[in-house]
Amino acid sequence: MQDKLILSVLPGEIPLSELNLAGTHDSATAFVAFSRLARCQNQTIAGQLEMGIRFLDIRLYEDRKGLRLVHARADCYQSADSKKCLYFDEVFSACVSFLKENPRETLVVSVKLDRGSREIEFAERFYKDFIEPYPDLWYLENRVPTLDACRGKLVLFRRYVQSPELPLPCGLDFSVWENQNSRTETVPLPVVMAPGCTALVQDRYRLAPDKKWNSSAKPFLDICKPTESRICLHYLSTCGGKGVPEENAAVINEWFAAYPLKTDAPQGWIILDFPSQALCDKIMQSNLAVYPQREMT
């Protein structure tokens, strides 16, 4: 496990945007309804954290019991042999436990209302249930933190509209994320979170694997330049082509495995379906090449 704690050995003044982070798309779908089309992962949240994943893509639906993990119309389950729905309480507990055991690490938690339209009510419930009682567990500024500023914390990456009744700031504001569902467009799109705080997002999830990699993912990886105030997000996931995430990931992950990450500059946060341990290591350990003289012993 110790060799997976790359962030723990890096100097704290590095902006989080200037680190390469391994992430997962639809992170809670290891056990999910309609699994052929809705399953994007084969590891639990806890298992992903152990592998080195540091960006979680959490999709939720509000019901009477709580905030339920979903992938659009598909419900996420607690285990392979259970139809008990997975709730955010369990995901939250896994993340908190991980950070208590590894206080020099950090986790970016992307939160999105993926089913239903009561976004303001959802924002209020998420805040009151999971943020307000645990203020010391969250990094809530709407600006890119340094690693030291978010060690031991969950960085809220907010893909929902904030309720005007709640305190501001409340996380990195990705509520204006534009849906990249075109089957022809390939370029990444900008997100402006605040003055002087931006992101470029490549999430062309309708492209067939060959077009996704050759016309969208690889070109953006080649040219992207994260800065202390600009995040570069690379979603390698796609449901294009035959629409089967696992089949698409097998192709794209093989191409990414052969892709040489830069050794002299960061490339951003790389979000995958079905990542292997080798791919997680490739991304996270690349930080030691980018910052070779600054690594702590």
| 38 token code pair | 């809705």
Q: What value does the mean pLDDT take over residues 51-62?
A: 98
Q: What value does the mean pLDDT take over residues 267-294?
A: 94
Q: What value does the mean pLDDT take over residues 257-283?
A: 98
pLDDT at 297 over 60: no
pLDDT at 74 over 80: yes
> In angstroms, how far is the first alpha carbon of the chain from the final one?
17
What is the per-residue pLDDT for 3?
A: 76
pLDDT in tens, 98-156: 999 999 999 999 999 999 999 999 999 999 999 999 999 999 999 999 999 999 999 99
Task: State how far Cα 80 lies from the chain centre.
Answer: 23
pLDDT at 294 over 60: no
Give the amino acid at 264. Answer: D
What is the per-residue pLDDT for 1?
A: 57
pLDDT at 166 over 60: yes
pLDDT at 295 over 80: no
- pLDDT, the chain, mean: 96
**DSSP-assigned letters across all residues of 208-267:** -HHHIIIIIIHHHHHH---BTTEEEEEE-----TT--HHHHHHHHHHHHHHS---SSS--
The Cα–Cα gap between 156 and 173 comes to: 9
Contact criterion met (CB below 8 Å) for 46 and 90: no
**DSSP-assigned letters across all residues of 45-83:** HHHHHHHT--EEEEEEEE-SSSEEEEETTEEBBSSTT--
pLDDT in tens, 220-232: 999 999 999 999 9
Report the percent of the chain where pLDDT is more than 70. 98
| 140 token code pair | 């809530």
Q: What value does the mean pLDDT take over residues 181-199?
A: 96
What is the per-residue pLDDT for 62?
A: 96
Q: Of 124, 127, 116, 125, give the one whose Cα is nearest residue 70.
A: 116
Contact criterion met (CB below 8 Å) for 193 and 199: yes
The Cα–Cα gap between 88 and 92 comes to: 6
Q: What value does the mean pLDDT take over residues 3-20?
A: 95
pTM of the model: 0.97
**DSSP-assigned letters across all residues of 10-28:** S-TTSBGGGS-EEEESSTT
pLDDT in tens, 81-93: 989 999 999 999 9
CA distances from 52 to 47, 49, 56, 210 (A): 9, 5, 11, 27
